[in-house]
Structure 1
Amino acid sequence: MVSNLMPKSDFGYKVHGDPFSTNTRRVLAVLLEKGLSYEPITVDLKTGEHKSEAFLSLNPFGQVPVFEDGNVKLCESRAITQYIAYVHSTRGTQLLNFQSHKTMATLTMWMEIEAHQFDPLASILTWEQVIKPIYGLETDHAVVEENEGSLEKVLDVYEKRLGESRFLACNTFTLVDLHHLPNIQYLLGSSMEKMLENRPKVRMWVDEITGREACKMVCDQEMSWYGISG
């Protein structure tokens, strides 16, 4: 099934980014969970295109992705995912479970935890262990060791939480879980594997969220970005 991945979108959505970028992948995952197509516009990070005058006119901070919906132009991947989830709240996977004020606050809290506690550490590990080798750069093992220790403390909190709830915010898959996916995808097979050995609830959660069809499709660069059928 690739109809949702064709380059042109019924809604006119455009995604400026790089399919290897974790932030771009976060946006692609929510589009796929909602069954939405988009026009992919590649921004070549290796050549520094994200710092070009043309791209800076879209995002003066020079970061991917940028999302366009007509006159609406958004940067910051988590803001983009929330926009899409709100606009298409009745379509596809229900990613914003706002059954009550308590659930809404809990979901918002865990999105903040992902952004400020999990992501900074996971992003460093992804950069050091996965992205640097792609660019032919040497991994700084001291940096890896330091951030592994800090991330393990975060995962200890997750282990306790996942003993109370199937997913991090509530008992259904939400944006909170989706926001974790890009770094987890990259880190599986590296240092994260040993972190999961003594955290069975986190292991179960990781297996469940990475087993989702949208997650698998995001991992396939050609299908998710270029709309090529298998």
Structure 2
Amino acid sequence: MVLKLYGSPLSTCTRRVAIVLKEKNVPYEFFPVNLATGAHKSPEYLAKQPFGQVPYIEEEDGFQLFESRAIGRYIAVKYAGQGNKVLPDPADLRAVAKFEQAASIELTNFDPFASQIAFEKVFKGGKGLGPADPKVVESLTRQLLLKLDAYEIILSKQKYLAGDEVTLADLFHITYGAMLAPLGVDALEDASKRPHLARWWKDITSRPSWQAVKDGA
């Protein structure tokens, strides 16, 4: 059985799923969705992804799932016995709790700022909404840097956000995080300011899974 991944090759969320598929050695067939022509807003697409967003997956028996983080968790659990371990042992309640804490950190303390910086500086113009607002970018960047100060504290005590083993919570940062430096926000790579954060970032972005999909799912 080959899983089908529907998305845009350079979409941050599509590549987030592709990272997990690579980590778990799950073969997949990629079906590109042309965002430029509005294919994701067609009636046929909306019947499968009612928000008109990418990506979604479909399995051989017709099971479909959207939302990149939900897909990542599903793949990690379904294929727990193969590839790299990216979730804690479900029997270890405290490890699971630490993972959930780390996953919440990414969702609430990183993504809202990194994704909105990317929206202002990249996606806004593409949607015909005008140029980036420098004041908005400055505010978002300032807030993100404050959040990353907390990351530095956490990562000074352990290797990854959930402990000493990599998890989905770390990997979920990669696609938006990789956009920051090219957009002029040197928040993750500056070892002179946040050495533990920089060490962590170099670690997770050096993984073969990201190297395999960084230029397209």
Q: Is the shorter-chain TM-score for this pair beyond 0.5, marking a shared fold?
A: yes
Matches within 5 A, 1:20-99: 20-69=10-59, 70-98=61-89
1:130 touches 1:186 (CA, 8 Å); kept in 2?
no
Q: Which amino acid aligns with 2:63?
A: V
1:160 to 141, 153, 170: 153
Residue 60 of structure 1: CA displacement? 0.9
1:43 touches 1:50 (CA, 8 Å); kept in 2?
yes
Residue 24 of structure 1: CA displacement? 0.5
Q: Which amino acid aligns with 1:190?
A: L
Asked if 1:115 corresponds to 2:107, the answer is: yes
SS in 2 for 1:167: coil
Structure 1 runs not aligned, ≥5 long: 1-10, 226-230
1:200 alignment counterpart:
195
2:4 alignment counterpart:
14
Paired with 1:209 and 1:148, the residues of 2 have a C-alpha distance of 22
Q: Which amino acid aligns with 1:111?
A: A
Residue 130 of structure 1: CA displacement? 3.8
SS in 2 for 1:207: helix
2:173 alignment counterpart:
180
Residue 12 of structure 1: CA displacement? 2.5
2:164 alignment counterpart:
171
Paired with 2:47 and 2:82, the residues of 1 have a C-alpha distance of 32
SS in 2 for 1:193: coil
Give the 3 Å change call, closer, same or farther, for CA 175–133 of structure 1 in structure 2: same
* Greater mean alpha carbon deviation, residues 154-163 or residues 111-120: 111-120
Paired with 1:81 and 1:195, the residues of 2 have a C-alpha distance of 23
1:152 touches 1:195 (CA, 8 Å); kept in 2?
no
Residue 135 of structure 1: CA displacement? 7.0
2:116 alignment counterpart:
124
Structure 2 runs not aligned, ≥5 long: none
SS in 2 for 1:40: strand
Q: Which amino acid aligns with 1:112?
A: S
2:188 touches 2:197 (CA, 8 Å); kept in 1?
no
Deviations 1:113-153 (A, max 9, x none): 21122111110112223445667862221111010011111
Q: Count the aligned residue pairs.
A: 212
Give the TM-score normalised by the residue count of structure 2: 0.91
Q: Which amino acid aligns with 2:81?
A: T
1:8 alignment counterpart:
none
Paired with 2:139 and 2:52, the residues of 1 have a C-alpha distance of 28
Paired with 1:56 and 1:194, the residues of 2 have a C-alpha distance of 36
Query: Share of identical aligned residues, percent?
Result: 37
Residue 196 of structure 1: CA displacement? 4.4
2:180 touches 2:187 (CA, 8 Å); kept in 1?
no
2:20 touches 2:75 (CA, 8 Å); kept in 1?
yes
Paired with 1:36 and 1:220, the residues of 2 have a C-alpha distance of 19
Measured on the aligned residues, the alpha-carbon RMSD in Å equals 1.8
